[in-house]
Chains A and B, each alone.
Chain A
Amino acid sequence: MTARTFVCRCEDVTLTEIERAIAAGLIDVEEIKRYTGLGTGPCQGKECLSALGRLLVARNLIAPAALRPFTARPPVEPVTFAALAAGATEHPEEPSP
Chain B
Amino acid sequence: MSPRGAACYRRRVPKAPLLAPPGPPTISFRWDGAPVAACPGDTVASALIAAGELATSRSAKYRRLRGPACLHGGCGTCLVRVDGRPNQRACLTPVREDMCVEPQNTYGGLDPTALVDQVFRRGIDHHHLVVYPRIANQMMQGVARELAGFGELPDAPPEDVAAVVDHAPEVLVIGAGRSGRALAAALTAAGHPPLVVERRAATALGGSDLPARLLAGVGVFACYPQERLWAAASEQPPVLHRLRPRHVVLAVGAHEPTIPLANNDLPGVVSARGLADMLEQTGRKSSARVVVIGEGARAELLASTLAAERVPPARVRKLIGARRVKGVQLEDGKILRCDLVALAPDPAPAFELAAQAGAPIHFTGAGFAPVVDADGRIAAGPAAHPLEAEGAQTAPPPPWTLWAVGELAGATTPAEIRGTVDRCAAALVRALAESPDPKDSHARA
Determine direct contact between A and B, CB below 8 Å: yes
B70 sits at the interface (CB 8 A): yes
User: Among the interface residues B242, B257, B322, which one has the most CB atoms of the partner chain A within 10 A?
Assistant: B257
Q: How far is the CA of A1 from the CA of B127 in the complex (A)?
A: 24
Nearest Cβ distance between residue A9 and chain B, in whole angstroms? 5
Residue-wise, chain A 37-60 has the 8 Å CB interface mask toward B (1 for contact) of 100011100111111011101000
Is A94's CB within 8 Å of the partner chain B?
Answer: no
Given A1-B113, A74-B222: A47 in contact with B74 (beta carbons within 8 A)? yes
Check B150 against A9 for contact (C-beta < 8 Å).
Answer: no
Question: How long is the Cα–Cα vector from A51 to B365 in the complex, in angstroms?
Answer: 10
Does A82 contact B158, Cβ atoms closer than 8 Å? yes
| Chain B residue, CB-CB nearest to A43 | B76
Task: Give the distance in Å from the alpha carbon of A6 to the alpha carbon of B343 in the complex.
Answer: 14
Q: Identify B77's interface contact among A9, A35, A86, CB under 8 A.
A: A9
Name the interface residues of B163-184: CB closer than 8 Å to any CB of A: 163-164
**Given A50-B366, A68-B361, A87-B242, A12 and B262 contact (CB-CB distance below 8 Å):** no
C-alpha spacing A53/B322, complex, angstroms: 29
Q: Beyond A43-B74, A75-B222, is A53–B367 a contact (Cβ under 8 Å)?
A: yes
Give the complex CA separation of A83 and B234 in angstroms.
7
B interface residue count range (under 10 / 10 to 19 / 20 to 34 / 35 or more): 35 or more
How far, in Å, is B366 (CB) from chain A's closest CB? Answer: 7
Find the A residue at minimum CB distance from B263: A3
**B29-37, B61-69, B203-211, B389-397: which lies at the A interface?**
B61-69
A84, B114: Cβ atoms closer than 8 Å: no
Cβ of B400 within 8 Å of any chain A Cβ, yes or no, is no
> Does any Cβ of A come within 8 Å of B117's Cβ?
yes
Docked complex Cα distance between A87 and B239 (Å): 9
- Cross-chain contact A72 with B351 (CB below 8 angstroms): yes
Q: Is B255 part of the contact surface with A, judged by Cβ < 8 Å?
A: yes
From DSSP, what is the main secondary structure of chain B's interface residues? loop
Residue A17 is within 8 A (CB to CB) of chain B in the complex: yes
Q: Do residues B114 and A49 form an inter-chain contact, with CB atoms below 8 A?
A: no
Q: Does A9 contact B318, Cβ atoms closer than 8 Å?
A: no
Contact among A12, A47, A72, A74 with B59 in the assembled complex (CB-CB below 8 Å): A12
Q: Is the CB of B221 within 8 A of A79?
A: yes
Which of B113, B150, B348 has the most C-beta atoms of chain A within 10 angstroms of its own C-beta?
B348
B264 in contact (CB, < 8 A) = yes
Instruction: Assess the B361–A6 pair: CB atoms within 8 A.
Output: no
Bound CA span A83–B238, Å: 4
Given contacts A9-B265, A79-B233, contact A42 B87 (CB under 8 A): yes
A-side contacts of B113, CB under 8 Å: 1
Size of A's binding interface in residues, CB under 8 A = 51
Tell me the complex Cα distance, A93–B162, Å: 19
Chain B residues positioned under 8 Å from A16 (CB to CB): 122-123
> By the criterion CB–CB under 8 Å, are A83 and B162 in contact?
yes
* Complex-state Cα separation, A79 to B87, whole angstroms: 12
B219 and A77 contact, CB distance less than 8 A: yes
CB distance from A26 to the nearest CB of B (A): 13
Which chain B residue lies CB-closest to A13?
B61
B240 an interface residue at 8 Å Cβ cutoff? yes
Does any Cβ of A come within 8 Å of B281's Cβ?
Answer: no
Q: Are B62 and A4 in contact (CB under 8 A)?
A: yes
A23 at the interface (CB under 8 A from B): no
Known contacts A74-B221, A84-B240, A86-B162, A64 near B365 by CB under 8 Å: yes
Contact present for B76 and A4 (CB under 8 Å): no
Is B340 positioned at the interface, with any CB of A under 8 Å from its CB?
no
Chain A residues with Cβ under 8 A from B66's Cβ? 9
- Say yes or no: A5-B114 contact (C-beta < 8 A), given A47-B74, A83-B162: no
Nearest B-chain residue to A69, judged by Cβ: B368
Within 8 Å of chain A (Cβ to Cβ): is B75? yes
A12 to B64, CA, bound (A): 9
Point out the residue from A17, A42, A86 that lies within 8 Å of B239, measured CB to CB. Answer: A86
Contact sample, A vs B, 8 pairs, CB 8 Å cutoff: A5-B261, A9-B69, A11-B60, A17-B125, A47-B76, A48-B258, A51-B259, A83-B238
B-to-A contact residues, CB < 8 Å: 59-62, 64, 66, 69-70, 73-77, 79, 87, 89, 113-114, 117, 121-127, 150, 157-158, 162-164, 199, 219-222, 224, 231-235, 238-240, 242, 255-265, 318, 322, 345, 348, 350-353, 355-356, 361-363, 365-368, 385
Beyond A10-B77, A78-B221, 12 additional contacts (C-beta under 8 Å) are A1-B114, A1-B263, A6-B265, A9-B59, A12-B61, A41-B76, A47-B75, A51-B345, A57-B365, A74-B356, A77-B199, A77-B220
